[in-house]
Structures are given as structure tokens and as C-alpha cells.
Structure 1
Amino acid sequence: MKSNGKAIVSHDPIVKKPNGKDAVSSTVLDQPTGKNAVSSAKVHKVMPAVSSAVPIQPSGKTAVSSVKVDKVRSSAKVDKVLFFRDVSFGIQEGELRFRLIHLWEARNVLTKTLIGLEMLLIDEQGSVIQGFIPSARIDTYLPHMKAGSVYRLNKCFGSNSKVMYRVAEPRVVISFTSNSVLSDLEDSRVNFPDDRFRFHSYKEFEAACDLKGDLYDYVGHLKLVNGQTLNASVVLDEEEIASTRRLLLHVQTHDGPVMKLYLWDQAAADFCAKFKLHGSTPRVILVTTVNPKRFGGALALASMSSSRVFLDFDVQPTRDYVTWLDSNLDVANRVDAKVVT
């Protein structure tokens, strides 16, 4: 089904547990040495409501355009627009409108089995919430979704968020069900924010160390990149990074303590790609949803599967930090990067 002006409707069956109950699962992956946390919520099965006038494609799937959906709504009850603050547990009768900030795979750490897709969504009020698409419905929705685009979603389900490694504040997760209808939000006069960050200071990361709680964002300046000081001759050994699936950075926020920041898997690959495209050696880094851990008695930060990497002038917080750094080079250079607390 094409996504331009079309509504995407899932008609695959709800995933069943062995005991016959419907379930939606969600997880965030820890690092290779960690464990995964999987939370599930019951889904009340609702039979899809599709007009008999809707044509059936040769593939057997139902194609419902946004025009036909609007006709159905006009003859019945127009869905009320809900903000994320209004989302509750259970079936959502209203329409959600949001920008897709980011999406990533959720896999079982031990078996590597794909559990689903997790998403970070933001509405017009700037509220951020986590979304989830079960693995059985990924092929239905993923081809029509792109980070940065704006969508409307009808007939979703509010399920419990996981206890560990949450990436957003709400206790509810927006889950796509077999009855969900996703379509592009075209010609919207509403200005949806591009992103929203949640920063923690060194003290806050230290207080949350090893608690496996909510994941927050980090911004600061680079001191060492895989043991190399920042200069024009910094070279990244991409083969070694790909082999170890890891990149080690020493970072510092303002005049605070220097910390180790481990970038794993996709985050390490993203850093390498941005580093190569950068005109000069980058100085400022922002990594989202990092996990504070203690290695060898010292506080360190580790990226997660949900993490994103930004450098220098990529986003407003990094641009603001570059401005601060240019005005406070004496403060930034005061601490030796090799002395890590």
C-alpha cells in the first residue's frame, strides 16, 4: 500500500501467548554484559471494522485510502484528537497526531529474536511518549514510516511501560494493534517540535548508577577518542571498531569530572559515519538515552539500542554547547583527560 495520502490498516492476527491470551511485549536491549527487560500488557481483541465498500487488492489485503476513512468518520462519529497527556491504559478511541522522532529494533539479548520496534514520538505540545509495534506488524507499518515525518494514528492501545530503561516519562506506551490505522498527516498547520532531550548532570548520573532506571541524555565535549587526543590527525580504526562493536570516548561537561562514554553497536557506527563526514575534528557530542554504570569503581556511561549520536552543529543543544566551549576554553582544558574519576 502506498503511503502518500493512504491509511495503513493492519489485519494480521494479534500475537498469542501459550495460554491463549493476547499480548504485546516491549523491551530495550542492554549491552552485551547486561540483561534485557521485557514487559507485557494484555490486549483486548477487537474485530476489525471495515466497510464492505472497501475494495480488496489481488494480494487479499484491504486497501483503505484516507478519503474512504474520512467518509466513514463523517457518517459516524469524528474521532477526537488526543494529546499524549490524555492517553490512558486500554483502547484509545481518539486520534493521535505526532512526529516520529526515532525508531529502533527491540531484540532479546540472549536469543537475538526480534520482539518488535520501539519508537519515540512527540506531539504538538512537546510531550514525548514511547510507541511499540509488535514484530508481527512491522511489515505492515515500517515501510510507510520515516523518522521526522508527521502521522495520525487511530485505534491504538495504551499498555504499561516497562519498569527498567524507560526512554520517556509517561507510564503508558502507545501500542499498534490489529485495528490500528496509520496515515500521513498532510497539510497540517500545526508546528510539531523536531525533538526533545532530557539531560542529566554528572551528579544525577552518579545517583542513578547501576539502578537500571530511566535513560537520560548526555551532552559535553570530547577529550579522547579511543585514546587519541583531539587534533587534525585523529584516525578511527573502523575495522577494529566493527570487530569489537565498541568505541571508547573520554568526555567532560563544562568543568565537571571526566567520564568514559562507551558507544556500542549502532551508536559506534553512527559516530564513525558522522566523524568521517565532519569537515574537522568534532569537539562536542550529544548521546541520547545512556545507561550509567560503574566500571572499575569509576562512573561511566554506555549507549543503548535506543541511543542517537549528535556532533557539534547537528542540533540546538550541541550548537549551544559549542558557543559555551568557544568562550570557556581555559575551563574546558583545565582537567587532564587521563585522570578519570
Structure 2
Amino acid sequence: MVAAQRYIADINGLISTKSPHFRIVVRVMSIWKMYKKADQKEIKSLELIFIDAQGGKIQATIPKSFMDSFIKYFAEGCLWQIACFDHALNIVGGYRCSKHEYKIVFEPNTIVDTVDDVVDLDIPNHVFEFTPFSEISNFIANFDFCFDVIGHVIGVSEAIIDGDKKRISVELEDERADRLKITLWNRNADAISAMMADHPVMSVVLIVQYVKCEKWNSRASVTTNMYNGRIFLNDMSMPAISEYKMRLEDIEDKDASVQQISILSNIFGYNTYEDFVKDASMLTLSEIKELEEPCYVVTFAKITGLVKEFDWCYLGCRDCNKKVTEIGKDTDTRLVGLPKSNQRGKGKKVTSEINGEGIKKFLCSKHGLVSAVTQKFKIHAIVVDGSGSGIVTLWDRQVYNLINKNASELLEEEPGVYYPNKLEELKGKKCLFKLDISQFNIRNRDSEMSVARVTTDAAIIKQYLQAVAEDLEIDAETSIEFGLSMTQTDDSTAKTAVSCIGDVNIQNADIGTPLEDTADSPPPKKSKSTQDLESVKSHQNKCVRKI
């Protein structure tokens, strides 16, 4: 009996795939070794992604017990006929790289044969299923599967090396101007580093295959799969990249992305815990109010509300955070603070200029006359920890990193709205703040504190809490528990924080939903962990923990 030509789509659970007459012709698109979760050095299986002439894609598993019998056959790009295999539901494990309902499971007697006698060999090397950035950021996509994404690079962080692991964060923008941050590991991180070294301002289209997504702190945390994640950089031989570049060229202001990659190459600002806490003290919010000298402070707190009586954005210079002033007729540079180096003669008046393209001129106190301006965030937020509360000022890039939207986008998406609903996403976020405590803050104990840096990175926060644990001589697990409990204060504490800011009354500030009151519950029996927590709280107003 001659074997009939079958396709991946025919693996549907209705017929047996163990027969030698059920044969599929496939190309190996990806191959990697899966390791046991408990022991990252012990191989669990060999995993493959097969594609066929219809564009079908399916994951295959070869158990370790007989993996050596098959591994010699497989390399990326090779064509094979496969027969006598089993199939199972594609529901197990955290690295599902195919959305097919089933996966192929090899058996000891599975046949792997050449394809010399097969006519239909029109099988692509790659089949991508691109997921829009907006579906990932808004949690519409199914995070049970790995995704493929495509976009142009607008930001690259410095490399972080931890033992034999290396990671780099990149920010991509797609055709819809949506943005996505992705963490790349090891060989993929090396490829990005090499690209930035050779072409730091080059326009780069990037495909990232098999990204994993998780929900962390109300945001999508996106990273390449440690085992098989791969990237494709500016490979014009790939239709997906060449077609994307052609579409991108049709978009107005296409050169902006080329310029931005160098400007934003360090947008993430911090790379490690050590960098974040450098030259700063670890203090609680109540301890900050006892400071006698200006300094940098690192503190862990929860955003519980927003002070909505202040504007949430302003018109600023594109290249810095300075507020700009539009040039009017006979504007005197001496009155608006134009730097002397930029003045056109002492005391000379600058007349409003509109060139042939209709570009207005603005005055920036740092860059002088500018035409490139944009809306920038300035958010006044209420923060609370286990010792008290306070008000902090979050700036443009910090807010963008927390909500994944810029101020101009919010103005377009919610026109005429006094305070955009999107900003409500800030409430409830547990963040590590690096605060710039000024002389004004020292003189005015309840004044707003300017945020120098902010992160929701789980690894950095964990290291901070472990450092607190070491300083107070408690175990790290208790410190992490304390880190969570210190944000669970009641609503009255937040109200106190916004009773006044200087001489400005903030009676109508939105302080968020009160937490459940458990005062009527009987006191639980104290465990060692509970006793350690009490030890932390008894020390928090006595210790100034220097890094």
C-alpha cells in the first residue's frame, strides 16, 4: 500500500498517526533541548518545530530515553518524511511554541526518511505568526503560548551579565506606533550588542521568535524563551522583514526612528540593582522626613492614588524635560529665560517665526530656540509604605515605562478628558523609587519628592528586600513578606498624605479603594516570621541603612 500524502492539518485526533502509511513531509524550523525545571543541567527532551507545504506548524517532542537515536537526523532547515509517531494534546509545559491543538510525540520505532521521491517540496524555511503589540500590552493575547513579534528598534539597554547568563532589553515600535519592551538572552543579547557597536544609529527591523509573556505588576513582562528564542536582524532576504521595511517607508516621518535609536539607547536608565541604589540610602517614608541633609534615597512603596488638582502633562522640549514657551510677537528673550549663549544680541527681541512648512518656534531654557516639542508627563502620585505616606513627582519617561503610553497618545485617545483613565493604571503598582531629596524637602517635611528613578523589576526589588533583611539580621523570606505587607496600609494614611502640599489644599485627591479592614479578626498566633516582621517595624524608624 502506497503511503498517502498527509499534512500537519491532518493531525486532528480523528485518525491514528502510528501507521507507516500516515506520512508527513516537514522542514525543521527550530530545534532545542528542554531541561528539567528542578535541574537546569539535566536534559528532559529534544523539542522541534515542524512546518509543511501548507504553512502548517506543529511542535514535536523526542523523550530523552531514546533521543540519541534521532538527534543525528535533525538540523534547522532539513527536510524529512516522518511516520509511525504518536500525538498528544498540546497542553503541557510553559514553552508551547505552536498553537496547533496537538503535538507530535516520537516513539522508538518512529520512521525518519529522506524525501527524494516526494514531489511537493515547496516548504518555507520560516512561518511567523506575528502578534500585535497592543494585544500583548492589553492582555488580549493568550499568554499560554509563545509569540512572534516584528518591529523597528528604538531603544537598547546596556548588557547585564550574571554568571554565564547575559541579558539586554530592547524597545520596539510597530507600524501602529505601539511599543513593546523585550528582554533578550545570551546569544540574542550578543547579536544586539554587536549591531549597536557597528551601527548605533542604523534603522533596524527586528523579528523576535518565541517570546514568552507574563503578567507582572499589571504590565506584560516580555522575554525571549531561554531555550529556543531567536532573533532576525535586518535580513532583507526574509520576506517578512523586506515587506515590513517597505510598509514603514510609506509612513510619514519614517526617519524619526533612525534618530531615536541612539537617543533612547539607554532609556532603561538602570541595569542592575547596584546601579539603581548607587550613592543612596535605604529609608522608609517616615525616615525620609527625619533627614537633615539633601541626598538620594531608595524606598519601596505602593502607589495608592493620584493628585488630580494639578495638570498631568505640559509642553516640553523633545530633547529634555524643560518646559517650553511659544514665541509670540516681540518676545523678549530676557523675560523668558533664554540662555545667554542662545540670545541674538543682548536684549534683542525675537519675533515669532513660522517658516514655509508652518513650524512654530519655542524657547527652551536649556536648548534655546527649538521647533521640536511634545507633551510630557508630570504626575503627582500618593505613595504608601508600612511606616507612612508621601507625595512623589513622576516624570515623563518614568510614567511611560509604567503605563506604556506617552502623553501625546493619551491626549489623542481621550480628547477633552480632564484626567485620562489610562493613568488609573498607576494605582496599585508596587515600585522601588529612587528619590532626589532636596533642601526644599528638608525645610518642608511634607513637600513633594522628585523621583529620579523608578522600577517594577522583580529581580531588583527582591535584591532590595534581601539587603534590608541582611541589614536587620532577619531571613530574606521575611523581608520579602515585609516588602509586601508594608504596602498594605489603610486609606486614612493616604488621606493624611494629601491633606496639604505646602500651602496647597488637596482635599479632593483620589486616593484609591480602601483595603479590607481586618481589625475585628482575633489575633493570630505569632510565628517566627511574624516576630521577625515586628522586629523590622521596630527598627524602621531607628536605622539609616547605607548601601
TM-score (norm: length of structure 2)? 0.42
Determine the C-alpha separation between the residues in 1 that align with 2:138 and 2:214.
Answer: 11
CA contact (8 A) 2:133 2:179 kept: no
Q: 2:10 aligns with which of 86, 93, 99?
A: 86
Which residue type is aligned with residue 262 of structure 1? T
Partner residue in 1 for 2:99: 169
Determine the C-alpha separation between the residues in 2 that align with 1:296 and 1:331.
Answer: 33
Matched residue count? 255
CA contact (8 A) 1:97 1:123 kept: yes
**Structure 1 residues 154 and 243: alpha-carbon distance in aligned structure 2, compared to 1, 3 A threshold:** closer
Q: 1:101 aligns with which of 17, 29, 35?
A: 29
**Structure 1 residues 273 and 99: alpha-carbon distance in aligned structure 2, compared to 1, 3 A threshold:** farther
Q: 1:78 aligns to what SS in structure 2?
A: coil
Deviations 1:223-255 (A, max 9, x none): 11215xxxxxxxxx6x84875421111111124
Post-superposition offset of 1:183: 1.7
Post-superposition offset of 1:323: 2.2
Post-superposition offset of 1:281: 4.2
Post-superposition offset of 1:175: 1.3
The structure with the largest helix share of the pair is: 2
Larger Rg: 2
Partner residue in 2 for 1:124: 53
Structure 1 unmatched runs, 5+: 1-76, 228-236
Q: 1:204 aligns with which of 129, 132, 135?
A: 135
Deviations 1:11-56 (A, max 9, x none): xxxxxxxxxxxxxxxxxxxxxxxxxxxxxxxxxxxxxxxxxxxxxx
Q: Is 1:317 aligned to residue 240 of structure 2?
A: yes
CA contact (8 A) 2:137 2:219 kept: no
Post-superposition offset of 1:141: 1.3
Which residue type is aligned with residue 84 of structure 1? I
Post-superposition offset of 1:162: 2.3
**Structure 1 residues 210 and 278: alpha-carbon distance in aligned structure 2, compared to 1, 3 A threshold:** same
Post-superposition offset of 1:169: 2.1
Q: Is 1:184 aligned to residue 114 of structure 2?
A: yes
Partner residue in 2 for 1:111: 39
Determine the C-alpha separation between the residues in 1 that align with 2:49 and 2:193.
Answer: 24
Which residue type is aligned with residue 92 of structure 1? K
**Structure 1 residues 280 and 223: alpha-carbon distance in aligned structure 2, compared to 1, 3 A threshold:** closer
Q: Is 1:267 aligned to residue 188 of structure 2?
A: yes
Which residue type is aligned with residue 119 of structure 1? L
Determine the C-alpha separation between the residues in 1 that align with 2:163 and 2:233.
Answer: 20
Determine the C-alpha separation between the residues in 1 that align with 2:115 and 2:191.
Answer: 29
CA contact (8 A) 1:271 1:309 kept: no
Determine the C-alpha separation between the residues in 2 that align with 1:203 and 1:303.
Answer: 18
Residues 20-39 of structure 1 aligned to structure 2 (within 5 Å):
none
CA contact (8 A) 1:255 1:332 kept: no
CA contact (8 A) 1:254 1:332 kept: no
Post-superposition offset of 1:266: 4.3
Which residue type is aligned with residue 222 of structure 1? V
**Structure 1 residues 91 and 116: alpha-carbon distance in aligned structure 2, compared to 1, 3 A threshold:** same
Deviations 1:83-140 (A, max 9, x none): 1111144543211111111111111233122111111111111111111111122221
Determine the C-alpha separation between the residues in 2 that align with 1:95 and 1:81.
Answer: 6
Post-superposition offset of 1:310: 0.4
**Structure 1 residues 321 and 300: alpha-carbon distance in aligned structure 2, compared to 1, 3 A threshold:** farther
Residues 255-294 of structure 1 aligned to structure 2 (within 5 Å):
255-272=176-193, 281=202, 283-294=204-215
**Structure 1 residues 274 and 146: alpha-carbon distance in aligned structure 2, compared to 1, 3 A threshold:** farther
Q: 1:147 aligns to what SS in structure 2?
A: coil
CA contact (8 A) 2:7 2:24 kept: yes
**Structure 1 residues 165 and 269: alpha-carbon distance in aligned structure 2, compared to 1, 3 A threshold:** same
Determine the C-alpha separation between the residues in 2 that align with 1:308 and 1:329.
Answer: 30
Which residue type is aligned with residue 95 of structure 1? R
Which residue type is aligned with residue 35 of structure 2? R
Q: Is 1:136 aligned to residue 65 of structure 2?
A: yes
Determine the C-alpha separation between the residues in 1 that align with 2:157 and 2:59.
Answer: 33
**Structure 1 residues 123 and 327: alpha-carbon distance in aligned structure 2, compared to 1, 3 A threshold:** same
**Structure 1 residues 88 and 201: alpha-carbon distance in aligned structure 2, compared to 1, 3 A threshold:** closer
Post-superposition offset of 1:265: 3.4
Which residue type is aligned with residue 156 of structure 1? F
Determine the C-alpha separation between the residues in 1 that align with 2:114 and 2:249.
Answer: 42
CA contact (8 A) 1:259 1:299 kept: no
Identical counterparts, % of pairs: 18
Structure 2 unmatched runs, 5+: 268-396, 405-547
Deviations 1:203-241 (A, max 9, x none): 2112437964122211001111215xxxxxxxxx6x848
TM-score (norm: length of structure 1)? 0.65
**Of 303-312 and 81-90, the range deviating more from structure 2:** 81-90
CA contact (8 A) 1:115 1:135 kept: yes
Which residue type is aligned with residue 23 of structure 2? E
Post-superposition offset of 1:155: 0.6
Computed over aligned residues only, the root mean square deviation of the Cα atoms, in angstroms, reads 3.1
